[in-house]
Amino acid sequence: MDEFCLLYLLLILLMRSGDVETNPGPNTAVSTVSEMEFLKLAQDIAPSYYNAVGISLGFSYAQLQTILVENLKNYTNALLDVFMKWNVEQQAHSNKRQVLANKLREIKLGGLSDGLLNGPPIPNSTGGPSRLSESQTKPPSAEFQTKQLSPELVKRCANDFKFKYRSTLCKIRTDPLDPASTVQFKDMYTNLFLQEEHRKEKRKLDYNDILDLKVNGEFPKRIMVQGEAGAGKTTFCAKIAWDWMEGEYFSDFVWVLIVPLREFKQHTIGKIAKSYLDKNNPATVSQITEYIRSNPDKVFIAFDGLDEVRGKIMKTESCESQPTDQMQLQPSQPSVTSSEACGSLSETGDIALVDILCSKQLASCPVLVTTRPWRAVEVRSDGDLMKLYTFIHVEGFNRENLPVYIHKYFPNNDDKANQLIQFTSENGVISEYMAHYPIYVAMLCLMWKELSEQRLKEMKSLKTFSQIFKVMIAFLKEHYAQKMVKKVGSPSFLAYLKQIDELLGPIAKQALNGLLENTLTFSEDDFKICPESKDTACRVGILSQEDRITTSMDIHEHGRNPHVQLPVFFPHKLFQEYMAGVHLASLYESDHHEDRNEFNRLIEQVVLPRMEEFRYLLYFTVSQNKSIATHVMNSMLQGVYRHSDRELSFIVDVAFESQDPAVAALVKNRFSSEKIELTIDTSMTAHTVAGYAFIGAYVAEVNIHGDCGPTMSLDVAEMMCSMPSLKKVTLWSIGFYDRFFETLARKGKESKVSSSTTIVMYDMCDCLI
């Protein structure tokens, strides 16, 4: 007989002996509701019930919207605020618990109502042990008694997970903007280039060798996969799921759980896994959680998109050191003991995602996390947390697998594929800046398939990420307009394009609002004041909307929401960042003084203090207008920045995206008095090297490690020949393209480089001396 049953029998004996009152009479603790209970309710109630709860408690719709805005659209905080305001307004001797329970039951939240009526443990007035509530004196529930999953049910859950991945995750869009353009995973998947961090260097890592990674002789329990936007992080997770389904790599794991964090910010691992199951699968959340907890070596968890949630990964042992900007990956519900005040277990024993990330829970379960590089800094800056993680970099396509992807995109047209491959190899900007990123390659393939010969020639002038997005968005708008107005270039066609731009204005505004709040998936209500704009954006391809309910998370734990809304989202976060940049620029260009003030506030107080996080927003903003670029660059160059090598490279990147000579001169003049030592190695992108060449910065020393592509070869040669400040160039085993030597031969005699410049070469041919 377990401890719980013994406790239950002991209570019965005490009651029979008269030591425990069966009817203790009125007690204030029974009729009141504690702040902790209000918090628990606020966390358990789905956002879709926010208005129903508030109106049932006597608040007007306008009041509820004001409270929501005051809480920055955080529904948990807003609901807590509603409960606290309601609590204050109740009469002192009213039974608040019963009233609130009745209100919850009226709006179909009966489960929460029942939980509230069970009440909290009642404290003993003598300070002794608390008297057990009715819910605690009940015999163990059937769920408690059958907590462990049977082998058959474990296998059934695995099959449900596989069906979920096969029907959703493991499908690749041939058109990155059309959700319906999906093909089988194996038809489009192309191997990604991976690197493992080894000491302070990176070394190539074959995907097939991932499970052979070892830390002190064992497979690492925490792996962080870094990659820039569009580098293939989500596809990497899909590949893991695919191989598990197909019985290849990862097949030794009984379960593989892929968790897109943008969709499950505020859920626990058991609830997420349960949402993947068929509705007829009887496995409960607590059973799933118990299986994971008891079999950590049989479960592999992959969290995709850590950068897509706010807050910090908490690893503190006490709430006193818990950060105030709590991560949206909420920790599990707090228990009553002070040592567990930050929480690890909910009432169902479920496990919070944040507790898994910081290894407070499931420490021996292998967990993989993908993120953009800026978010990995949090883990790297924490010495204890960093020791738990092995770091991998996903670099997208390399020169070998880029042609493979293009041929898969054009399976029945080798000529078209070969023409695009030739274009990417000849256009150094495309080849070195964009061809590594699968999303840009997919966009290039789409345009290559659809654009006229004349427009394809114009693509050769592309130099920046912003330019390719500008061309892509223009292509989408024109492609849609042609369906409505056949005569391209006519006044009616141009008028229709203008109408599209006006309709997309609210979408751009919503993109910025969502980006600032790290909201990447929207509800239909977010566009209720501009439904025509949402519909147009979906038809153009800038927005996407699911045409079905994707998971059982749309069904609340305590009752189904009869008005489930289908999620609305941008095809990729980069599209949201581009549209956000369009709106941010429009604030600067507005005739209204308030808009310009808002632009300045956002740039100086929000974007620049978090500039790594908002890197692409800055790129896309400065590319809209030269005066905006100058204004933003002046803000970046103010004395609040220490101008470390990292910050200087960031400034150079933003200047390059502006493509404005005035901005380049501004940066060059700002650093003319500083001695800049430039190290070009595998950690520096071709984009940054091009930026230094673009601004013509005063660089005193250049150290070059690793191979350079055709464009980087040209940029390095240009810098060597045009920087009068250059005093030393060090070349370490470099592989240069012909244009490097051609440029040195052509411009060497006209070079402004001082005769005192020293060129040091290691393992190089004598042709440079």
DSSP string for 109-164 = -HHHHHHHHH-PPBPPTTSSSPBPPHHHHSPPPHHHHT-SPPHHHHHHHHHHHHHH
Amino acid identity of residue 687, one-letter, is H
For residue 67, what are its two tokens?
């409270």
In a domain, 635, yes or no: no
Any domain includes 332: no
Whether residue 729 is contained in a domain is answered as yes
Cβ atoms of 166 and 153 within 8 Å: the answer is no
How would DSSP label each residue in 398-410? Answer: -TTTHHHHHHHHS
My answer on whether 481 and 529 are in the same domain is: yes
pLDDT of residue 498: 93
User: Helix, strand, or coil here: 267?
Assistant: coil
Q: Which residues of the chain have pLDDT under 70?
A: 1-30, 118-147, 173-181, 265-266, 311-349, 427-429, 432-433, 546-565, 639-645, 673-683, 697-701, 703, 705-711, 722-727, 731-737, 739, 748-769
Q: How far apart are the first and last CA of the chain?
A: 86
What pLDDT is stored for residue 510 in this prediction?
94
Residue 744 lies in a domain: yes
Q: What is the pLDDT of residue 139?
A: 39
* b/e 467-495 (16+ beta carbons within 10 angstroms → b): bbbbbbbebbbbbbbeeebeeeeeeebee
**CATH code of the domain covering residue 263:** 3.40.50.300
Same domain, 498 and 550: yes
Residue 90 belongs to domain with CATH number: 1.10.533.10
Distances (CA, A) of 590 to 11, 441, 466, 495, 634: 72, 35, 22, 22, 20
**Residue that finishes a domain, picked among 447, 462, 477:** 462
Give the pLDDT confidence of 656-702 residue by residue, as tens digits: 999 999 999 998 888 776 666 666 666 677 788 888 888 876 666 67
Same domain, 270 and 256: yes
Q: What is the pLDDT of residue 528?
A: 86
Same domain membership, residue 161 and residue 109: no
481 and 608 fall within a common domain: yes
Q: Is residue 334 part of a domain?
A: no
| pLDDT in the model for residue 323 | 37
Cβ atoms 729, 699 nearer than 8 A: no
Domain termination residue (choose one: 592, 624, 656): 624
Supply the pLDDT for residue 497: 93
Strands (E), 283-342: 299-304
Does residue 491 share a domain with residue 453? no
Identify the helix (H) or strand (E) that includes residue 670. Answer: helix 661-670
Nearest C-alpha neighbor of 699 from the set 736, 718, 717, 674: 674
Is 10 contained in some domain? yes
246 lies in the same domain as 387 = yes
> Does residue 268 share a domain with residue 122?
no
Q: pLDDT digits over 569-625, tens only?
A: 887 888 899 999 999 999 999 999 999 999 999 999 999 988 888 999 999 999 999
Residue 458 shares a structural domain with residue 468? no
In a domain, 720, yes or no: yes
Kindly state whether residue 670 falls inside one of the protein's structural domains. Answer: yes
Query: Are 447 and 495 contained in the same domain?
Result: no
pLDDT of residue 291: 93
Q: Which of 431, 446, 462 is the endpoint of a domain?
A: 462
Q: Where are the beta strands (DSSP E) in 627-692?
A: 676-680
**Which domain, by its residues, includes 458?**
414-462
Backbone angles phi, psi at 173, to 5 degrees: -80, 130
Q: How confident is the model over 335-378, as pLDDT tens digits?
A: 323 222 223 344 456 888 888 988 888 988 999 999 988 888 88
Same domain, 44 and 157: no
Supply the pLDDT for residue 337: 30
**Do residues 51 and 102 both lie within one domain?**
yes
Query: What pLDDT score does 547 carry?
Result: 54
- The structure's pTM equals 0.59
Alpha helices for 266-372 (secondary structure H): 269-275, 285-294, 353-357
Domain count of the fold of the chain: 5
Give 659: exposed, middle or buried? Use CB within 10 Å, 0-12, 13-18, 19+: middle
